[in-house]
Amino acid sequence: MDSRPVGVFDSGVGGLTVLHECLVTMPYEDFVYLGDHARLPYGPRPLDEVRHFAREIGSYLQEQGVKLVVNACNTATSAALPQLQEELDIPVVGVITPEAHAAVQATRNRRIGLLATEGTVDAGRYRDLVHALDAGVDLVQIACPRLVPLIESDDPFGGETTAAVREYAAPLKNAGVDTVILGCTHYPLIRPVFQRAFGRDVTLVFSAEETAHEVAQTLARKGYENDVSREGTYRFLTTGDPEVFRQMGLRFLPLPIVDVEHVELTALAAA
Protein backbone atom coordinates (compact mmCIF):
# COMPACT_ATOMS: atom_id res chain seq x y z
CA MET A 1 0.00 0.00 0.00
CA ASP A 2 1.14 3.54 -0.77
CA SER A 3 0.25 6.01 1.98
CA ARG A 4 1.45 9.12 0.13
CA PRO A 5 -1.29 11.72 -0.55
CA VAL A 6 -2.70 12.73 -3.93
CA GLY A 7 -2.03 16.35 -4.88
CA VAL A 8 -4.75 18.47 -6.52
CA PHE A 9 -4.35 22.05 -7.72
CA ASP A 10 -6.38 24.82 -9.32
CA SER A 11 -6.14 28.56 -9.77
CA GLY A 12 -8.60 28.97 -6.89
CA VAL A 13 -11.51 27.05 -5.39
CA GLY A 14 -13.23 25.77 -8.55
CA GLY A 15 -11.14 22.60 -8.48
CA LEU A 16 -12.81 21.67 -5.20
CA THR A 17 -15.62 20.27 -7.37
CA VAL A 18 -13.06 17.79 -8.71
CA LEU A 19 -11.64 17.16 -5.24
CA HIS A 20 -15.13 16.30 -3.95
CA GLU A 21 -15.57 13.58 -6.57
CA CYS A 22 -12.11 12.23 -5.73
CA LEU A 23 -12.97 12.15 -2.03
CA VAL A 24 -16.18 10.18 -2.56
CA THR A 25 -14.64 7.89 -5.21
CA MET A 26 -11.51 7.16 -3.12
CA PRO A 27 -12.52 7.76 0.53
CA TYR A 28 -9.46 5.79 1.69
CA GLU A 29 -6.92 8.13 0.02
CA ASP A 30 -5.31 11.26 1.51
CA PHE A 31 -5.45 14.47 -0.51
CA VAL A 32 -3.70 17.84 -0.43
CA TYR A 33 -5.32 20.67 -2.40
CA LEU A 34 -3.51 23.84 -3.45
CA GLY A 35 -5.44 26.88 -4.70
CA ASP A 36 -3.33 29.59 -6.35
CA HIS A 37 -5.58 32.42 -5.17
CA ALA A 38 -2.78 34.99 -5.30
CA ARG A 39 -2.69 34.73 -9.12
CA LEU A 40 -6.37 34.10 -9.82
CA PRO A 41 -7.83 34.12 -12.46
CA TYR A 42 -5.83 32.08 -14.95
CA GLY A 43 -8.35 32.35 -17.79
CA PRO A 44 -7.38 35.80 -19.17
CA ARG A 45 -3.63 35.27 -18.70
CA PRO A 46 -1.25 34.33 -21.55
CA LEU A 47 -0.85 30.56 -21.86
CA ASP A 48 2.92 30.78 -21.35
CA GLU A 49 2.35 32.46 -17.99
CA VAL A 50 -0.22 29.87 -16.91
CA ARG A 51 2.18 27.12 -18.01
CA HIS A 52 4.86 28.63 -15.77
CA PHE A 53 2.48 28.73 -12.80
CA ALA A 54 1.40 25.13 -13.33
CA ARG A 55 4.98 23.88 -13.56
CA GLU A 56 5.85 25.67 -10.30
CA ILE A 57 2.88 24.13 -8.51
CA GLY A 58 3.46 20.66 -9.92
CA SER A 59 7.09 20.71 -8.77
CA TYR A 60 6.07 22.03 -5.36
CA LEU A 61 3.49 19.28 -4.84
CA GLN A 62 6.00 16.66 -5.92
CA GLU A 63 8.44 18.01 -3.30
CA GLN A 64 5.63 17.70 -0.73
CA GLY A 65 5.67 13.96 -1.36
CA VAL A 66 2.47 13.39 -3.33
CA LYS A 67 2.15 10.22 -5.45
CA LEU A 68 0.01 11.71 -8.24
CA VAL A 69 -0.94 15.24 -9.32
CA VAL A 70 -4.42 16.17 -10.49
CA ASN A 71 -4.39 19.32 -12.62
CA ALA A 72 -7.95 20.35 -11.72
CA CYS A 73 -7.89 23.60 -13.69
CA ASN A 74 -9.11 23.50 -17.30
CA THR A 75 -6.94 26.46 -18.31
CA ALA A 76 -3.82 25.02 -16.67
CA THR A 77 -4.53 21.60 -18.18
CA SER A 78 -4.82 23.23 -21.60
CA ALA A 79 -1.59 25.15 -21.12
CA ALA A 80 0.68 22.71 -19.35
CA LEU A 81 -0.45 19.08 -19.10
CA PRO A 82 2.15 17.63 -21.52
CA GLN A 83 4.96 19.59 -19.86
CA LEU A 84 3.92 18.43 -16.38
CA GLN A 85 3.74 14.82 -17.52
CA GLU A 86 7.21 15.08 -19.05
CA GLU A 87 8.89 16.88 -16.15
CA LEU A 88 7.44 15.27 -13.03
CA ASP A 89 8.44 11.84 -11.77
CA ILE A 90 4.85 10.97 -10.78
CA PRO A 91 1.66 10.55 -12.84
CA VAL A 92 -0.30 13.69 -13.78
CA VAL A 93 -4.01 13.62 -14.62
CA GLY A 94 -5.84 16.56 -16.23
CA VAL A 95 -9.53 17.38 -16.57
CA ILE A 96 -9.84 17.85 -20.33
CA THR A 97 -9.34 14.36 -21.76
CA PRO A 98 -12.10 12.79 -19.60
CA GLU A 99 -14.52 15.55 -20.67
CA ALA A 100 -13.71 15.24 -24.36
CA HIS A 101 -14.22 11.48 -24.21
CA ALA A 102 -17.51 11.81 -22.31
CA ALA A 103 -18.83 14.41 -24.76
CA VAL A 104 -18.01 12.35 -27.84
CA GLN A 105 -19.72 9.36 -26.23
CA ALA A 106 -22.79 11.42 -25.29
CA THR A 107 -23.50 13.31 -28.52
CA ARG A 108 -26.17 11.92 -30.83
CA ASN A 109 -25.93 14.44 -33.68
CA ARG A 110 -22.11 14.95 -33.49
CA ARG A 111 -22.50 18.64 -32.63
CA ILE A 112 -20.77 19.56 -29.38
CA GLY A 113 -20.51 22.93 -27.66
CA LEU A 114 -17.74 24.10 -25.33
CA LEU A 115 -18.12 26.86 -22.74
CA ALA A 116 -14.78 27.75 -21.14
CA THR A 117 -12.32 30.52 -20.27
CA GLU A 118 -10.47 32.46 -22.95
CA GLY A 119 -7.24 30.60 -22.23
CA THR A 120 -8.86 27.19 -22.55
CA VAL A 121 -10.52 28.10 -25.86
CA ASP A 122 -7.35 29.69 -27.25
CA ALA A 123 -5.23 26.62 -26.41
CA GLY A 124 -7.36 24.44 -28.69
CA ARG A 125 -6.80 21.21 -26.74
CA TYR A 126 -10.51 20.37 -26.60
CA ARG A 127 -10.71 20.66 -30.39
CA ASP A 128 -7.68 18.41 -30.84
CA LEU A 129 -8.91 15.78 -28.39
CA VAL A 130 -12.49 15.72 -29.67
CA HIS A 131 -11.36 15.41 -33.28
CA ALA A 132 -8.86 12.71 -32.36
CA LEU A 133 -11.79 10.70 -31.01
CA ASP A 134 -14.19 11.57 -33.84
CA ALA A 135 -12.94 13.72 -36.71
CA GLY A 136 -16.52 14.25 -37.88
CA VAL A 137 -17.70 16.09 -34.78
CA ASP A 138 -18.55 19.78 -35.14
CA LEU A 139 -17.16 21.54 -32.02
CA VAL A 140 -18.43 25.07 -31.33
CA GLN A 141 -16.25 26.88 -28.75
CA ILE A 142 -17.38 29.93 -26.79
CA ALA A 143 -15.17 31.88 -24.37
CA CYS A 144 -17.06 33.08 -21.29
CA PRO A 145 -14.94 35.74 -19.54
CA ARG A 146 -17.77 37.04 -17.35
CA LEU A 147 -18.78 33.79 -15.70
CA VAL A 148 -16.04 33.08 -13.15
CA PRO A 149 -16.26 36.54 -11.47
CA LEU A 150 -20.07 36.23 -11.39
CA ILE A 151 -19.95 32.75 -9.89
CA GLU A 152 -17.54 33.96 -7.20
CA SER A 153 -19.69 37.04 -6.48
CA ASP A 154 -22.11 37.41 -3.58
CA ASP A 155 -25.04 36.53 -5.87
CA PRO A 156 -23.96 33.66 -8.18
CA PHE A 157 -27.57 32.84 -9.12
CA GLY A 158 -28.60 36.44 -9.77
CA GLY A 159 -30.04 38.02 -12.88
CA GLU A 160 -26.64 39.08 -14.23
CA THR A 161 -25.41 35.48 -14.17
CA THR A 162 -28.57 34.23 -15.87
CA ALA A 163 -28.23 36.88 -18.58
CA ALA A 164 -24.57 36.00 -19.19
CA VAL A 165 -25.35 32.28 -19.46
CA ARG A 166 -28.14 32.97 -21.95
CA GLU A 167 -25.79 35.14 -24.01
CA TYR A 168 -23.07 32.49 -24.14
CA ALA A 169 -25.57 29.68 -24.75
CA ALA A 170 -27.25 31.39 -27.70
CA PRO A 171 -24.67 30.56 -30.42
CA LEU A 172 -24.52 26.95 -29.25
CA LYS A 173 -28.29 26.61 -29.41
CA ASN A 174 -28.29 28.22 -32.86
CA ALA A 175 -25.68 25.66 -33.96
CA GLY A 176 -27.96 22.83 -32.85
CA VAL A 177 -25.58 21.20 -30.37
CA ASP A 178 -26.99 18.35 -28.32
CA THR A 179 -24.04 18.14 -25.89
CA VAL A 180 -22.25 20.96 -24.06
CA ILE A 181 -18.95 20.68 -22.20
CA LEU A 182 -18.81 22.87 -19.09
CA GLY A 183 -15.10 23.51 -19.53
CA CYS A 184 -14.34 25.27 -16.24
CA THR A 185 -14.42 23.86 -12.73
CA HIS A 186 -16.51 26.82 -11.54
CA TYR A 187 -19.42 26.13 -13.87
CA PRO A 188 -21.00 23.15 -12.06
CA LEU A 189 -21.87 25.47 -9.17
CA ILE A 190 -24.51 27.06 -11.42
CA ARG A 191 -25.41 23.91 -13.36
CA PRO A 192 -29.17 24.54 -12.90
CA VAL A 193 -28.78 27.88 -14.72
CA PHE A 194 -27.09 26.14 -17.65
CA GLN A 195 -29.70 23.38 -17.75
CA ARG A 196 -32.47 25.96 -17.74
CA ALA A 197 -30.81 27.80 -20.65
CA PHE A 198 -30.33 24.67 -22.77
CA GLY A 199 -33.25 22.49 -21.70
CA ARG A 200 -33.29 18.78 -20.91
CA ASP A 201 -32.61 17.71 -24.50
CA VAL A 202 -29.01 18.97 -24.23
CA THR A 203 -26.53 16.89 -22.25
CA LEU A 204 -24.17 18.84 -20.00
CA VAL A 205 -20.74 17.28 -19.52
CA PHE A 206 -18.44 18.09 -16.60
CA SER A 207 -15.22 16.30 -15.85
CA ALA A 208 -15.21 15.81 -12.08
CA GLU A 209 -16.65 12.30 -11.97
CA GLU A 210 -14.72 11.13 -15.05
CA THR A 211 -11.49 12.65 -13.71
CA ALA A 212 -11.93 10.95 -10.33
CA HIS A 213 -12.38 7.59 -12.07
CA GLU A 214 -9.21 8.19 -14.11
CA VAL A 215 -7.28 8.99 -10.93
CA ALA A 216 -8.56 5.82 -9.25
CA GLN A 217 -7.68 3.70 -12.30
CA THR A 218 -4.21 5.24 -12.54
CA LEU A 219 -3.47 4.57 -8.87
CA ALA A 220 -4.64 0.97 -9.30
CA ARG A 221 -2.52 0.39 -12.42
CA LYS A 222 0.58 1.83 -10.74
CA GLY A 223 0.06 -0.06 -7.51
CA TYR A 224 -0.18 3.25 -5.64
CA GLU A 225 -3.47 2.64 -3.82
CA ASN A 226 -3.75 3.19 -0.09
CA ASP A 227 -5.31 0.72 2.33
CA VAL A 228 -8.99 0.67 1.29
CA SER A 229 -10.13 -0.12 4.85
CA ARG A 230 -9.00 3.26 6.20
CA GLU A 231 -10.64 6.70 6.09
CA GLY A 232 -8.53 9.24 4.26
CA THR A 233 -7.77 12.83 5.21
CA TYR A 234 -7.57 16.06 3.25
CA ARG A 235 -5.81 19.37 3.76
CA PHE A 236 -5.81 22.73 2.02
CA LEU A 237 -3.11 25.16 0.90
CA THR A 238 -3.53 28.57 -0.72
CA THR A 239 -1.23 31.27 -2.01
CA GLY A 240 -3.89 33.81 -1.06
CA ASP A 241 -5.80 34.65 2.11
CA PRO A 242 -6.68 31.42 3.98
CA GLU A 243 -9.95 32.82 5.36
CA VAL A 244 -11.09 34.01 1.93
CA PHE A 245 -10.28 30.55 0.57
CA ARG A 246 -12.22 28.87 3.36
CA GLN A 247 -15.33 31.02 2.96
CA MET A 248 -15.37 30.74 -0.83
CA GLY A 249 -14.47 27.07 -0.75
CA LEU A 250 -17.55 26.17 1.27
CA ARG A 251 -19.64 26.96 -1.84
CA PHE A 252 -17.78 24.38 -3.91
CA LEU A 253 -17.03 21.59 -1.42
CA PRO A 254 -19.98 20.38 0.70
CA LEU A 255 -17.59 19.09 3.36
CA PRO A 256 -15.86 20.76 6.32
CA ILE A 257 -13.01 23.15 5.53
CA VAL A 258 -11.41 23.88 8.88
CA ASP A 259 -7.75 24.79 8.51
CA VAL A 260 -6.21 26.37 5.41
CA GLU A 261 -2.44 26.85 5.26
CA HIS A 262 -0.80 29.77 3.46
CA VAL A 263 1.98 29.09 0.94
CA GLU A 264 4.24 31.90 -0.25
CA LEU A 265 4.75 32.32 -3.98
CA THR A 266 8.48 32.25 -3.29
CA ALA A 267 8.09 28.67 -2.03
CA LEU A 268 6.51 27.70 -5.37
CA ALA A 269 9.24 29.47 -7.32
CA ALA A 270 11.93 27.71 -5.29
CA ALA A 271 10.47 24.33 -6.24
Q: How far apart are CA 47 and CA 55, in angstroms?
A: 12
Say which of 18, 114, 184, 263 is annotated catalytic.
Answer: 184
φ and ψ of 185, to 5 deg: -65, -15
3-class SS of residue 33 = strand
Provide CB contacts within 8 A for 252, sequence distance 6+. Answer: 13, 14, 16, 17, 20, 186, 189
Report the interhelical angle of 208-222 vs 16-25 (nearest 10°): 50
Distance CA 32, CA 6 (A): 6
Q: Of 73, 189, 208, 212, which one is the catalytic site residue?
A: 73
Tell me the residue ranges of DSSP E strands in 65-144: 69-71, 92-94, 111-116, 138-143
Look up 184 and say whether it is catalytic.
yes
Segments in 223-261 forming alpha helices (H): 242-252
DSSP 157-197: TSHHHHHHHHHHHHHHHHTT-SEEEEESTTGGGGHHHHHHH
Q: Give me the sheet containing 111-116, strands edge to edge.
A: 138-143, 111-116, 179-183, 203-205
**Helix 96-106 with 208-222: angle, nearest 10 deg:** 120
146-163 b/e (C-beta count within 10 Å ≥ 16 → b) = ebbebbbeeebeeeebee
Q: How far apart are CA 106 and CA 120, in angstroms?
A: 21
Which residues belong to the active site? 73, 184
